[in-house]
Structure 1
Amino acid sequence: MISSAQEIVRVSKGLDVAHSHGVSGSTVSAPRVLMVVSAAQLVIGLDSTVMNITLPAVQADLGFSDELRHWVITAYALAFGSLLLIGARIGDRIGTRKALLLGATGFALASLTSGLAPTFEVLVGARTVQGASAALVAPAVLAALTAVFPAGRERARAFGIYGAVSVTGTALGLFLGGPLTQYLTWRSTLLVLVAFAVPVVAGTAWAIPPGDRNPSRELTVAGAASVTLGLFGVVLSLSLFQASQTVWAGVVLTTGVVLLAGFFLSSSRRGGADPLLSPRILASADRAGALIALGLSAAGLFAVFLFTVYFFQDVLSYSPVMTGLAILPFPVVTVASSLLLAPRLTRRLRPSSAVVLSLLLPGAGMALLTGTDSGASYVVGVLPSIVAVAIGTGVIFAVATDLATDGLNDLDRNVGAALVHVVQQVGGATGIAALNAVASLSTGSGDERAGAGSYALVFAATAGIYLLAALLSGIFFRAPFHLPRLAQGTR
């Protein structure tokens, strides 16, 4: 983890564009912006997983029921996922710098409140504010990165760093949660977020120039309500499915889909007006393919971050420390893949080809893991799968995020960045719900190996998700397997 931070500094200092024009047209330091963007994305990644392992300790301390436990996680996910497009439009109206300052400050205060929460209700309320603040930060940081690095090798390097930090933050949150809870308290998992968020506030004031605001951008009540409630319904329904509330989940999901369909239909008919999500953003086949790849790979990635950890402990009988060591190659290889492999790969192949090929690697890695049993050697039976998934993930998150935001004009930059996070949030939530359902198919049989069998099913289903992502994104890319462009240094 420390080496990845050092690599960010080293690569950012070596960027050919020492200075670039920001969204407001003023001269800004590209390495400074990259450092702030990376720090902010690290915070968002951390918060998405840092509390996953701490829930039993939180419940024991605050004394709430099992039925309410999931709301500690769900409250954040609902606010974050449903408010992203609104956060993007607010960023348009007040400017990237103000959006970052407001979002990061709100996140720091909400994290402090969460860490000191005396009751379940206060904790859930503060977690909701955390999610809403993250919905303001996430589109702004990616929009700032897109503006400062519009094209060329520097853009590929910058998005390699962004992809590496995204995955590293998520992995770091998952593995920090247990030790912090065990050796300190569950509250430390939230208070540590304050220590990460405060430098983002200071860095924003230091590196991001004022300006680039456009207060004339519309934020209609009808559009805001329909897309927010629609996304809220989709994310909530997935949480209800996990809680086995199937009937209510179906009702909420249907309502959410209808609201989103109405939102998209209304946006496409507004003509010269200023819709919250312009149809021109999704008119690019490359952008659509990249968003599909990001959404489905996020769904698959939860098998690595959640079920693989449980598999190590339940089937391979690893201790928590051994589990952390066993999964450690994943973030290390992912960082190397994002920073080193992704830029080189896109100089040899079209970015769309790189994405499709990289989706096949995690699929193969998870398929290999299905044959692992309790007597398997780590080096032979587990490590190759981890490395394969990590290599593919590093390229996907770097290159697909680049593709999804490439070519956006000033009006669409924030909402295009928000879409990247929307598909990842919905994809991740869908992955958890679907893979939990798969895991339950082979449990309760009374066989000692029922647990191993359920994990094998989960890993097979995850391989299928990655293969489906390769197929669907390839269709949207139209002809993904182009001849290598060996004579060209950049795309």
Structure 2
Amino acid sequence: MSSGRTGESVPIPARAEAVDPRRWWGLVVIALAQLMVVLDATIVNIALPSAQHDLHMSDGNRQWVITAYTLAFGGLLLLGGRVADLVGRKRTFVVGLIGFAAASAFGGAATGPAMLFGARALQGVFAAVLAPSALSLLTTTFTDPRERGKAFGIYGALAGSGSAIGFILGGLLTEYLNWRWCLYVNVPIAILAVIGAFALLHDRPGHGESRLDVPGVLLGCGGLVAVVYGFSEAQPRGWTDPVVLALFAAGIALLALFVWWQGRAPSPLLPLHIVRDRTRAGCFLTMMLAVIGMFGLFLFMTYYLQVILGYSPVRAGLGFLPLTAAIITGSTQIAARLLNRVAPRLLMVPGLLLASVGLMLLTRMTVHSSYATDILPALILLGLGMGLTFMPVFATATAGVAPKDAGVTSATVNTAQQVGGSIGTALLNTIATTSSAAYIAAHLRSPADRAAAVPVGVVHGYTVAIWWAVGVMLLAALVAGLMVTARPAGRGAATKPRVRESVG
């Protein structure tokens, strides 16, 4: 037995089974699936105006194209992760791919708003099965510390840059084909991934002897759905709306009952030892806080580039390309090379500070800012910082976990990411909108002032919200520095009590 970095003792993989010679091709399959899931959270954003016009959606209902996906995805992740542990990760991975492709085709063929909303919800359901299966397959496939660093570098790059890639691809597909291809594009990707999964991926049998924790499913998934839905509704309704407050209250109550029940359930949906570990809990919290700042920025920059600077959808999407390249560079060329030599927090903390500096640069943007001199340097710094953060978060949070808990641990990382995205989009957009309205009201002395005051007020709102994002990033750096105490992967485990787990 050898001890993982976060405390649990796990078997030495080399003694259990031979190393799969095709594991790197398997990584390509896992990466394709992860990219598809992450970019689908944003790929329809740029296409939304076209879809709204074609399907005659109201302004009040159009948000459901986004919310239906995030609600199902974020709310059902814990269930998807535990199902993967029970019935086998490869099996749930393939089912998730097939279901996601079918839902995407259904959405691309939508003839009305309800059909599109339903398809996006189905995408979220199957994404909640697919995402934790992909990460747990990666966790159980790459166990050598050096190879693990490279594999998680690639995975972290896709997880961090997938949203930006979604903007780029969404702009290209919308402008040169039509919005429906933002959904159809998933079908060929999923087909390739299914073929690759059958040919290249291997998995231990599931733990069918365990039972699914039905009360835990109802409490945990119900609580997550209520919280994610509450943040989604906070954007159009306002934070003090009775519906929003009721959703938050119900979500918190259900999650509190969920935690209470998990300490007593015979087969808990989320074994509490997973989140009691200081390093792992620090990774979950760091991920959520980092994504809050990053996702809010995506929303602002999309509107800033198209509405304020007048960019086309394609040009706006390509404006995110340097951010994507910087995330990939930071994750694969820097973090992956250093993770075996330095403690994870020595990558996370500098990365989050670097991202904070990038956000600070964006607080200086105006209606007349130049992309090359004012926006580009900030995106590069932000991307490098997020690359240095995401890779060690994914690798450290899933290190040392027993195979029977790999799926639910992976689901918890994804849940932190998804909830962070929902909070960031709702919270920062509300701050931006409120600040913009206050600025315009203060500077609108006559109707003639409106043409000049409104764009300036909108950008002012963006910069105020970005300052809040800076604060959240700095808080994430503090959490990572204080809570993530794991040693470098190449130097053995952190000095914590060992909890022996057996291979299922």
TM-score, length-normalised on structure 1? 0.89
In the alignment, which residue of structure 1 is the partner of 2:100?
107
Given the alignment of the two structures, is residue 253 of structure 1 paired with residue 248 of structure 2, yes or no? yes
- Once the two structures are superposed, residues 57-97 of structure 1 have per-residue CA deviations (whole angstroms, 9 ceiling, x without a partner) of 22221223222111111111111111111111111121111
Q: 1:265 to 1:487 in 2, by over 3 A?
A: closer
Structure 1 residue 305: deviation in Å? 2.1
In the alignment, which residue of structure 1 is the partner of 2:150?
157
Q: Which residue of the other structure, out of 465, 470, 486, is the alignment partner of 1:463?
A: 470
In the alignment, which residue of structure 2 is the partner of 1:41?
34
Structure 1 residue 167: deviation in Å? 2.7
Q: 1:320 to 1:296 in 2, by over 3 A?
A: same
Asked whether the 8 Å contact 1:45–1:170 carries over to 2, the reply is: yes
1:410-449 equivalent positions in 2, closer than 5 A: 410-444=403-437, 445=440, 446=444, 447-448=453-454, 449=456
1:4-43 equivalent positions in 2, closer than 5 A: 25=17, 28=20, 29-43=22-36
Q: 1:125 to 1:274 in 2, by over 3 A?
A: same
Structure 1 residue 181: deviation in Å? 1.9
1:56-455 equivalent positions in 2, closer than 5 A: 56-209=49-202, 211-244=204-237, 246-270=241-265, 273-444=266-437, 445=440, 446=444, 447-448=453-454, 449-455=456-462
Structure 1 residue 304: deviation in Å? 3.4
SS of the residue corresponding to residue 53 of structure 1 reads helix
Structure 1 residue 380: deviation in Å? 3.0
Structure 1 residue 441: deviation in Å? 2.1
SS of the residue corresponding to residue 162 of structure 1 reads helix
Asked whether the 8 Å contact 1:360–1:467 carries over to 2, the reply is: yes
Q: 1:23 to 1:461 in 2, by over 3 A?
A: farther
> What is the letter of the counterpart of residue 277 of structure 1?
L
Structure 1 residue 33: deviation in Å? 1.9
Give the distance between the partners of 2:14 and 2:119, measured in 1 at CA. Answer: 33
Give the distance between the partners of 1:24 and 1:450, measured in 2 at CA. Answer: 62
SS of the residue corresponding to residue 264 of structure 1 reads helix
Asked whether the 8 Å contact 1:227–1:263 carries over to 2, the reply is: yes
Structure 1 residue 451: deviation in Å? 1.7
Give the distance between the partners of 2:233 and 2:294, measured in 1 at CA. Answer: 21
Asked whether the 8 Å contact 1:346–1:490 carries over to 2, the reply is: no
Moved more, 134-143 or 340-349: 340-349
Structure 1 residue 332: deviation in Å? 1.0
Give the distance between the partners of 1:490 and 1:331, measured in 2 at CA. Answer: 32
> What is the letter of the counterpart of residue 105 of structure 2?
L
Structure 1 residue 320: deviation in Å? 3.9
Given the alignment of the two structures, is residue 477 of structure 1 paired with residue 470 of structure 2, yes or no? no
- Once the two structures are superposed, residues 32-54 of structure 1 have per-residue CA deviations (whole angstroms, 9 ceiling, x without a partner) of 22111111111112211111122
Structure 1 residue 22: deviation in Å? 10
4+ long deviations beyond 6 Å: 20-24, 485-491
Give the distance between the partners of 2:170 and 2:420, measured in 1 at CA. Answer: 23
Structure 1 residue 233: deviation in Å? 0.3
Give the distance between the partners of 2:434 and 2:145, measured in 1 at CA. Answer: 48
Asked whether the 8 Å contact 2:46–2:313 carries over to 1, the reply is: no
Asked whether the 8 Å contact 1:337–1:394 carries over to 2, the reply is: yes
Asked whether the 8 Å contact 1:101–1:204 carries over to 2, the reply is: yes
Moved more, 55-64 or 414-423: 55-64
Q: 1:45 to 1:24 in 2, by over 3 A?
A: farther
> What is the letter of the counterpart of residue 31 of structure 2?
S
SS of the residue corresponding to residue 54 of structure 1 reads helix
Structure 1 residue 383: deviation in Å? 2.1
> What is the letter of the counterpart of residue 76 of structure 1?
Y
SS of the residue corresponding to residue 143 of structure 2 reads coil
Asked whether the 8 Å contact 1:233–1:255 carries over to 2, the reply is: yes
Structure 1 residue 179: deviation in Å? 2.8
> What is the letter of the counterpart of residue 252 of structure 1?
L
Give the distance between the partners of 2:432 and 2:472, measured in 1 at CA. Answer: 15
Give the distance between the partners of 2:327 and 2:38, measured in 1 at CA. Answer: 14
Point out where structure 1 has 5 or more consecutive residues left out of the alignment: 1-19
> What is the letter of the counterpart of residue 423 of structure 1?
A
Moved more, 74-83 or 203-212: 203-212
Give the distance between the partners of 1:157 and 1:427, measured in 2 at CA. Answer: 26
SS of the residue corresponding to residue 443 of structure 1 reads helix
Asked whether the 8 Å contact 1:75–1:127 carries over to 2, the reply is: yes
SS of the residue corresponding to residue 185 of structure 1 reads coil
- Once the two structures are superposed, residues 188-234 of structure 1 have per-residue CA deviations (whole angstroms, 9 ceiling, x without a partner) of 11001112111111111111225421111221321111111111100
> What is the letter of the counterpart of residue 212 of structure 1?
P
Q: 1:94 to 1:211 in 2, by over 3 A?
A: same
In the alignment, which residue of structure 2 is the partner of 1:50?
43
Point out where structure 2 has 5 or more consecutive residues left out of the alignment: 1-11, 445-452, 495-504
Structure 1 residue 145: deviation in Å? 0.5
Asked whether the 8 Å contact 1:109–1:194 carries over to 2, the reply is: yes
| Percent identical | 37
TM-score, length-normalised on structure 2? 0.87
> What is the letter of the counterpart of residue 274 of structure 1?
S
In the alignment, which residue of structure 1 is the partner of 2:449?
none
Give the distance between the partners of 1:154 and 1:451, measured in 2 at CA. Answer: 47
Q: 1:71 to 1:322 in 2, by over 3 A?
A: closer
Q: Taking CA–CA contacts closer than 8 Å with sequence separation of 6 or more, which of the two structures ends up with the larger relative contact order? A: 2
Structure 1 residue 182: deviation in Å? 2.6
